[in-house]
Structure formats: C-alpha cells, structure tokens
Structure 1
Amino acid sequence: MDALVIGGGPAGLMAAEELARAGRRVLLCDGKPSLGRKLLMAGKSGLNLTKDEPLSGFMAHYGEAADWLLPMLAEFGPEAVQDWSRALGQPVFTGTSGRVFPIAMKASPLLRAWLARLNALGVEVRTRWRWEGFEGRALRFRTPDGPVELTPAVTVLALGGASWSRLGSDGAWAEWLAARGAGIAPFRPANMGFLVDWSPHMARHFGSPVKGCALMAGDRRERGEFVISARGIEGGGVYALSRLLREGAPLTLDLLPDLSTQDLATRIAKLRAGESIANRLRKVGLSPAAAALVQEFARPLPQGEALARLLKALAVPLAGPRPLDEAISTAGGITRDSLTGDLELRALPGIFACGEMLDWEAPTGGYLLTACLATGRHAGRAAARAPGSPKAGCAG
C-alpha cells in the first residue's frame, strides 16, 4: 500500500479508482461496516446522478465556488457522469425536468458494479476503520483489531461534511486538520428543511405534498414542490432556496404560477357569494394542502383581487433551518485558500481532500453528486502524480 483513501462515499471511491488506474497500491478505509451508505440513502427515492444541461447553466448553481470547481467539472461534468454510469452497466434516462437517473433508479446496482470494478483494480478495502487523527507523521485508526497507524506516500481524505452522522459524515476531522494548520470554514446546514410553528389545525396535512407551485426567496424563483411535515416544510423546492432562506431571505409562495394575478382575480370574481372558504379555494384550483396553508397564514381571508394577490405571494413565516445533522449536505469545510489547485492541503503536503469536505455547496438535483465525483477524480489523479516516497505523505 502506498496510497490511502479515507472515506468510502462517491468522492472517495472515485479517488481510489483513479489512484489504482495509475498503478498505485491503494487501501480504502471507512469507519462504517459498509461503503457508500449515504449514496444508498440518496438513492432510496431515485438516484439523481446529474442534471442534463449545458455546463454554463450547470455551474451557476455553485455560487461563488463556481470558478473554483469549473476546471474539475469541465473534465467530469454531466455528460461524463452519464457515460460513467453506462460504463458500469447502468443505463440512464433524463426526466422532464432534465434530471438524470439510472434506469434501475436505485443506487445499489451502481454501487455493486463500482465496488466490483475497484476490486478488479486491486483496491483493498477495510471497513470499521475509523480515522482518529494524527500521531506524529502517521494517521491513526481505530479498527476491530486495535489501533493502527499508517504513513502512506499519499493520502486522499473524502470524509464528507457534518450531516447524517449515522451514515458516517460527522465532521470530526475538522478539528484535527485545523490543528495542523488547515483553514476550516464553520459548518452550516444546506439542502435542509425549515421549521414552521404550525397551529393544531395543520396536523391532518402532515405528510402532504404541495405541488405545482413556485417558491420565491430574494431574487430567486423556483418551480417545484415541497412537503408539509410535523416540524415544518421540506423537499426539493425548499432545498433549491435553502441557502437564501438560511441567510434570512423571506419565503413566499405563488400557489398558482400558471395564472396571472388578473386571470386569477377574474376566476375569483365568478365564484358564488356565500360559499365556504374551503370551497372558494378549491374552485380556484388549490389542493387541500395548499388551501390549508392559505388559511394558516392569512386570516381573515381577503376577497376579490386582494385574494388573487395573496395566492400569488403567500408569505410563509419560518422559524429557522432544521438541525445540521438532519441536512442533506453542509456548507463549510476546508477553505479554498488552504488547498492547491490539485486539492492538496498546503499545510500537509501529500494529503489531498475532496467531496463535501471542501467549502462549497450546491442544491440537490444532481449538482451535489456530480461535484463530489468530479473533485474525487481530480484529487485522485493529482495524488497519483505526487512523489511516491513514503516521506511525501502525512507530514505536519
């Protein structure tokens, strides 16, 4: 073994494959009993691999990190991800929204094929090996057989962010890297739900989706859907705006985005006087869940054109984001200026980092997974080019 990869998620698996293809003898370690646990969780409702759109539009979803990630995603972007899946025997299809999925939908067939390919390349895997920091120049692990210290030639860290700790990414590594001189931006939840203080009347709508609406925050407007839960709201439409909402932008809903305010006012004017509020909202085209939101946040309900304006911009008061560990992903992590262009830690020559450990964020919809794969590939290739003597790794 002269190359070590810590973390068995998509970024780590990609780094291990690139190292092995370059002729390195690779050891891949993960603290959990099996690899790819967060990937498998993401695929339970359909594994969204990437988004089929031009690179310029794709990159717009990475905010200020776009120029940093562009070289990596230009080499391994949406088209390359689709080709990669096909090469693993998993053909893909593109949905009406442009999102790309394996035809099998689940992550497990893809992961099995990938692990088989890594095995054929000679990658050795150790599970239940938890990295616990440094011991001098060595990396220290807790394993089922007792403590182990390793001093590989090169190391790629792919330990994830700080959410879903039960699946393996708890952010504990941040303290150890900071102690060795790496810059670490504080972790913040990303792609998360938001808390709402519901009245008891909303209980019967918990679990109900609100579809076909537009969500607005700041200067962003996103068509999508979300789910009313016992603690608030969550789902793709909310996640797309989660950064703006986290930073304090108010959320408003256009519950009938295919109608103009005037067309909606005309429809409202045709309703019979004296009808119940529930019937009036149903007849203008709202689902029971959407109508419940209107009655929750707009009492007393206005009439005529004022009602039309309300339905086109319903304010939803939020009580803050869901906790960090419940977020799909996290912002924060190793800062850009702590890394070389090869994703090598400036303070720790021979140690590279990739995936959600890096300080970038992106919405769900294929953007997260594509960037994890691309940064893992980039770090693995760079580590494979690094000097091969054991002294090159784990310094600090």
Structure 2
Amino acid sequence: MTEPAEALVIGAGPAGLMAAEVLAAAGRRVVVAEAMPTPARKFLMAGKSGLNLTKDEPVAAFLQNFSCGSGALPRAPGYFNEEEAQFGPAEVMDWARGLGVELFTGSTGRVFPVGMKASPLLRAWLARLRDRGVDLRVRWRWIGDGFRFETPEGERALIPQVAVLALGGGSWPKLGSDAAWVPFLRNTGVEVRQFMPANMGFRVGWSQPMQRFIGQAVKGVALCAGDHSSRGEWVIGRDGIEGGGIYEVAAPIRDGVAASVDLAPDVTVEALAARFAKPRGKLSLGNWLRRVLGDPVKVALLLEWGQPLPGDAAGWAALTKALPVRHDGPMGLERAISSAGGVSWDAVTPDLELRAMPGVFVAGEMLDWEAPTGGYLLTCCLATGRHAGMAAAARLDQLAATR
C-alpha cells in the first residue's frame, strides 16, 4: 500500500518529536513513524535516575562542550552559534514549563524536573502532539527504498512532501538507535562518518585485590586528559570505570590522550610530600596510605595503577597528584550513553537538509557531533529537531506558493 503524507518524521525520540511539534504548530499534517513499540525509549531510560534536561549556563559556555570528529562545528542559526542560538538552555526550560513540568536547578547548574522522572514530561508532550493532530505510528520500521516501512499490517510506503529523519546514532541499539539507516543514506550518496562510542566507560582488567571495591564510587578526585578535566564522581565497575566524571573526559581518552587522576586535588604536592615524609612506623603499607589519603578506594587505585611504587615521599606525592589511568580501551557502542560520528556536516545545508535528498532533513544524534552528559545531549537533540522541523515547514510553504 502507498499513502501520501504532507510531512513525515521518522523516529520518535526527542529530536523527532520536537520536529513533529514544530510542523504541527505550523498547521501541517504530520505522520511520525517509530520502529519500537513505544516512543522515546532511550529518553525514558536516560531519565530513570533523574532526567537532566539542560544546563543552566550562558550560551557561550554551553556551546564550548560540543565537538565533532571533522573539527569545528558549523556556525548555523539555531544550533552551535552563540549569536543566533534560538533554542538554548533558557528556551528548553521555558518549553518544559509550558508542558506543565516544574523544574529545579542543582548546585552544578544541571536542570531537572522536580519529580526527576522523564515519563510525566513525555506523557504531557505526547498529549500535546495528539491534540495537534500528529499521527504516531509505532512498530513502523524504515527499510529504505524511498520511504517504505515494515509494519504490523505488512509492508507500507509513504510519499511525503517533506521528511525529517531523527533515527538516533549508534548507541544503546536495544532501545532503537541501531544505525540501520546508514546504508540507506550512503546508497544515495550521503557521507556518513563511522560511529564511535561517546560518554562511555573504559575497560579495566582489575587485579584480585580490587574485586572488593567493585561497585564503589570514586569521589573527591580530579581526572585529567590533555586540556580536559573533570571533578565528577565515577564508579569502579566489574568491567572497568564508568560514570559522569569519566564521561566528561571520555572523548579525548577514546582518541588516544593519556589520562591521569589527581587523588588529592585540593592538596598541594608539597603538602602531600610532607604527609608522606612522616615516619611510617610499624604500619602496613595499606594502613599507612589510608592514614595519609583517608580513603580506602583512593588507596586501592594508587596501589593498582601506581606500580612500580615510589621509594620516597616526593615520589608518593607526585604519583598521588598524577596517577596514570591504566585501561584497555573504551567500552562498546552497546553500552555507550551516546555516539560520535554520523551524517557529515558537508552532507547537509545550514537548514539540515540533505544535499543528496532535497526535501529530507536530519536532526539529533544522526548528525556528526558529540557532547558530554549534563543536559548538553538532550538540548542539542531538541534544538536540531526544532530547526529541522522549521526548515521542513518552510519548504512546504515554498511548495504551496509554487502551485
């Protein structure tokens, strides 16, 4: 069966739903096709421990957290551009409040719903879309060949006047972001850069003595990788190291930059040396180090990654301030919070329209960009979805004017 459609959005994550909202607000009839049984599964999963909507900080500081594998990000209206940013942190907060969601800002500037969960916001959002006539079709999997879909009723085809692709990147494939769309676009001449894990942990083969620390948090340290640093917490996992503090510096480490951890970031190396210079007496090595550092988790990391161990106070102080992070590479896409890579910026216009597919726009994690967790990912997905939706609506106006 073949069916005409005024506007088609493929993917019902944050970028796709935002594109649909903008198109519907412009009076357009919108069909949203989603491969999974329910919309926004990754959004809901990310919000299970607290939905971090955005980061309440000036746009200039906010934009410093975005990068892409091909170098500088494009300076285009609506995203990645301080002068013309149209949907930054302030706008995201206003949008959420418009859905009836009360927000609060934490001490680090991260913005959350008061209830912390993603589901109330999603319910209100989907209700708004239904009220505006958006037709959400779940279990509709895009199979290429134009706009053909596998559906519960068999194969179907849509013929849209405009389309927005918001199928996600390559992370968490079990939630729908499986990058199955890559060959479809490459076959039409669209450059798609190889996906890599982003906001991921790193594999570590822990020694037997470290097993007792599995699951414990590492607090009060500073991670450094080149020009990037993090004071956030992270966790010693069974397979390696994970958590927000790791994710903030994950990109340079993934790309080969050596990382180190300062186990006492608020203490000078001279003060540490003085502590290490005090007589050890009959204390065991572990008890002596715990007396100096005060935290058995820090001591365990020092002994795990610090071999061969120093022989004097100055050496212990220097090692404590710059302990090498010894790892076996990044964890895979299947465990990454997000992905780097995707549709090249050279493949799209400033309005996110595919140069090889006129009338087809791209948004969200399909594009080649990355950012740390902390509200940056979601804000950019919403911003690019909004921008693509506005551009698609403008294209429909142009088509109507030529009839």
- Residue in 2 that maps onto 1:394: none
Amino acid of the structure 1 residue aligned with 2:166:
A
- Residue in 1 that maps onto 2:257: 249
Instruction: Name the stretch that deviates more: 261-270 or 241-250.
Output: 261-270
- Residue in 1 that maps onto 2:336: 327
- Residue in 2 that maps onto 1:258: 266
State whether residues 2 and 388 of structure 1, in contact with CA within 8 Å, keep that contact through their aligned partners in structure 2: no
State the shift of 1:304 in Å: 1.3
For structure 1, which runs of at least 5 residues remain unmatched after alignment? 392-396
Amino acid of the structure 1 residue aligned with 2:143:
E
Name the SS for the 2:150 alignment partner: strand
- Residue in 1 that maps onto 2:19: 15
Amino acid of the structure 1 residue aligned with 2:208:
P
- C-alpha separation between the residues in 2 aligned to 1:248 and 1:11? 31
- C-alpha separation between the residues in 1 aligned to 2:89 and 2:217? 29
State the shift of 1:273 in Å: 2.2
The answer to whether structure 1 residue 70 and structure 2 residue 71 are counterparts is: no
2:315 to 299, 303, 306: 306
2:142 to 127, 131, 138: 131
1:4 to 5, 8, 17: 8
**Cα RMSD after superposing both structures:** 1.8
The answer to whether structure 1 residue 354 and structure 2 residue 363 are counterparts is: yes
Corresponding pairs, count? 389
Mapping 1:1-396, distance limit 5 Å: 1-63=5-67, 64-65=72-73, 67-68=75-76, 69-71=79-81, 74-134=85-145, 138-270=146-278, 272-302=280-310, 303-387=312-396
Name the SS for the 1:27 alignment partner: strand
Q: How does the TM-score come out when normalised to structure 1?
A: 0.95
State the shift of 1:98 in Å: 1.2
Deviation per CA, 1:91-145, whole angstroms, max 9, x where unpaired? 11111111111111111111111111111111011001101112xxx30100000
State the shift of 1:271 in Å: 5.4
State whether residues 60 and 66 of structure 1, in contact with CA within 8 Å, keep that contact through their aligned partners in structure 2: no
Instruction: Name the stretch that deviates more: 221-230 or 265-274.
Output: 265-274
Q: How does the TM-score come out when normalised to structure 2?
A: 0.93
CA spacing shift, 1:278–1:126, aligned 2, 3 Å:
same
State the shift of 1:300 in Å: 4.9
Name the SS for the 2:115 alignment partner: coil
- C-alpha separation between the residues in 1 aligned to 2:155 and 2:94? 41
State whether residues 229 and 248 of structure 2, in contact with CA within 8 Å, keep that contact through their aligned partners in structure 1: no
- C-alpha separation between the residues in 1 aligned to 2:222 and 2:390? 41
Amino acid of the structure 2 residue aligned with 1:339:
V
State the shift of 1:280 in Å: 2.1
- C-alpha separation between the residues in 1 aligned to 2:75 and 2:233? 30
- C-alpha separation between the residues in 2 aligned to 1:309 and 1:9? 47
- C-alpha separation between the residues in 2 aligned to 1:287 and 1:4? 55
Query: Percent sequence identity over matched residues?
Result: 55
State whether residues 15 and 156 of structure 1, in contact with CA within 8 Å, keep that contact through their aligned partners in structure 2: yes
User: Counting helix residues as a fraction of each chain, which structure ranks higher?
Assistant: 1
Name the SS for the 1:259 alignment partner: coil
